[in-house]
Amino acid sequence: MRTLSICMLLTACTMLTGCGGGGEGAPAVSTSSSAALPTASLAWNPIEDSSIVGYYVHYGRQSPGQSGSCSYEAAQFVESPNATISDLQPDTRYYFTVSSYNGLESACSSEVSTVTPSSQA
């Protein structure tokens, strides 16, 4: 598979192998917070394959603990190679991964995690 690089704001990128990374690399992760609930912003290099119509960002408070798994609490579909996941709980560890979609979903990339900032209330 092609190499996919995923970044989350405020940190450096690392490389993944395709969208179904199989554990070879892990993206970097960061979050931001204001008066609202924390958000996580992700960006990655798109897969150079015209059949790819979008990506799923999978995330949750628990890791499935298995490389390539997409079994998370939630997923968000995006057509472009970036996403903002909002309304996350403050001071909570979240796990993130990405898969590509072309009518069939690929295995998920390597997982990253971060703890969201505390509430700024």
| Predicted confidence (pLDDT) per residue in 61-81, tens digit | 999 999 889 999 999 999 998
- Residue 12 pLDDT class (50, 70, 90 cuts): very low
Q: Which residues pair with 32 in a beta bridge?
A: 39
What is the domain class of 3-115 according to CATH?
mainly beta
Residue with tokens 């995330």, as numbered in its chain = 59
Higher pLDDT, 119 or 51: 51
Query: What pLDDT, on the 0 to 100 scale, is given for residue 44?
Result: 77
Domain locations along the chain: 3-115
Angle CA 59–63–66, to nearest 5: 115
Query: What pLDDT, on the 0 to 100 scale, is given for residue 17?
Result: 33
> Comparing 16-20, 34-38, 81-85, which segment has the lowest mean pLDDT?
16-20
pTM of the model: 0.74
Higher pLDDT, 5 or 60: 60
Q: State the alpha helices, DSSP H only, in 1-121.
A: none
What does the pLDDT look like over 44-53, one tens digit per residue? 778 889 999 9
